[in-house]
Homo-oligomer: A and B are copies of this chain.
């Protein structure tokens, strides 16, 4: 939150051991540079937005035809939100582990960069596809009646779009990392 540097971050830790752990993590953080930090932030945003998308969509059951399970587009959107959330969870945990220990769960740096890039790409394609499929049916229903069901669907679709933006930008950073790997 504050921009006052590692001293302030270290002071935020509880005991001396905590402060040391936080400090070493912050050091690695700084060493990894802006792209790694930006990508972790983008993946955390994608995690948040895909979680919101799946929770809002999965709870969108108001009886009768106002149930997301009645519409294949909404099932698709929910399924892809779950996939995106699992992917973002795995990647955030991997990024945090890498920043904490300095070691990657995937041993080869080049392979790791390729997995990052391919994964971000595929999940971004799935998310834009899912939200594009779910948008028209929502639009048709809102022309007839604007209620809690359609509003919740629109909210879930918007969250899926924000998750797409975050993962798509993360794919750009992964592409940049992949090109940096070519230098090693």
Contact = CB atoms under 8 A, between A and B. Distances in A.
Interface of A: 72-73, 117, 121, 124-125, 128-130, 132-133, 135-137, 139, 168, 171-172, 175, 178-183
Please give me the 7 A-B residue pairs with the lowest Cβ-Cβ distance, nearest first.
A179-B179, A132-B132, A129-B132, A179-B182, A132-B133, A128-B129, A175-B175
Nearest to A174: B175
Contact of A182 (B135, B168, B172, B180): B180
15 contacts: A72-B136, A73-B136, A117-B175, A121-B168, A121-B172, A124-B125, A125-B125, A128-B129, A132-B132, A133-B133, A133-B136, A136-B136, A179-B179, A182-B182, A182-B183
A175 to B, nearest CB: 5
Assembly stoichiometry (copies): 2
A117 B180 CA distance: 16
Q: Is the interface of A mostly helix, strand, loop or mixed?
A: helix
A83 to B, nearest CB: 15
Given A136-B137, A178-B179, 14 more contacts: A72-B136, A117-B175, A121-B171, A121-B172, A125-B128, A128-B128, A128-B132, A129-B129, A130-B132, A132-B133, A133-B133, A179-B181, A182-B182, A182-B183
Nearest to A125: B128
